Homo-oligomer: A and B are copies of this chain.
Amino acid sequence: MTTLDPATPIAAAPRPVFKPNWVRLAPWLYTIGLFVLWEIGVRISGLPHTILPTPTRVFEAIIQYWSPIWKNSVQTLYTTVLGFMIAVVAGLGIGLFIGWSKAIYAGLYPIMVGFNAIPKVALVPILVIWFGIGTVPAVLTAFLISFFPIVVNVATGLATIEPETEDVLRALGAKKLDIMLKVGVPRSMPYFFGSLKVAITLAFVGSVVSETVASNSGLGNMMASAQSNFNVPLVFAGLLMLAVEGIAMYALMAWVEKRMTGWAHRSTMAN
């Protein structure tokens, strides 16, 4: 599948007036705007920097502690991506499995909902006892926290296949799995990617939470020690790095999404 131009015609004559490309600029403008607001907000409210430091202070901290921040960021990114990838595979698998039969759906869904209502931090101790501290529990926590949104969207995609489309395949004697893979999955791709956006952010939260409780490295560990030293700017530096990593992963997925789901994004509305 390839990227598609929308059906909207392109004006023949190029306009001579300079017109900035707002869509490309928007992320930067919004981010800068956010930082400015944050800076002003903190300054006006007079919150101590041990509670909410200004962005300038946070950037100072980033420069000052760049080496540990970088090392820990890489560690966290590594565990997160690993956990996320397991979650994608497992989420797709469980989603298909749940889509397979009403009985499995009825049985498994409530249990998963119940499981997901539990803060995963409560499970970290169990993982630590089984796997020791470090990378493994972080990966597993990232996985456990992030597979559910994927399951939900894949299962919804399967449950809402139009019978008309289904019939096209059923008339050919297609097996259930064929219908799922050939129709269910591609059809729910846009939502699958939507769920990935949710899942990747949750995966970051998961690995950080696990690192906070049981790890000698990673941003979670770094932020926990910084917090206990009242080095709040460093804590926020860690949070900012998390946000940046999250956005980087998002950009990667947005790119894949664009290639994969161009067919679905033909709406001319969001212009």
Contacts and interface: CB of A to CB of B under 8 A. Distances in A.
Contacts of A245: 117
Contact of A26 (B106, B113, B125, B195): B106
B158 A270 contact: yes
Contacts of A116: 198, 201-202, 205, 246
Interface string A18-46: 00001110110111001000000000000
Count copies of this chain in the complex. 2
Interface in A227-271: 235, 239, 242-247, 250-251, 261, 264-271
A132 interface: no
A118 B148 contact: no
Contacts of A113: 197, 200-201, 243, 246-247, 250
Interface residues of A, number: 92
A133 interface: no
Contact of A265 (B51, B160, B191): B160
A159 interface: yes
Interface of A: 7, 22-24, 26-27, 29-31, 34, 47, 51-52, 99-111, 113-122, 125-126, 129, 148-149, 152-153, 155-156, 158-163, 166, 176, 179-180, 184, 190-191, 193-195, 197-198, 200-202, 204-205, 208-209, 212, 220, 223, 235, 239, 242-247, 250-251, 261, 264-271
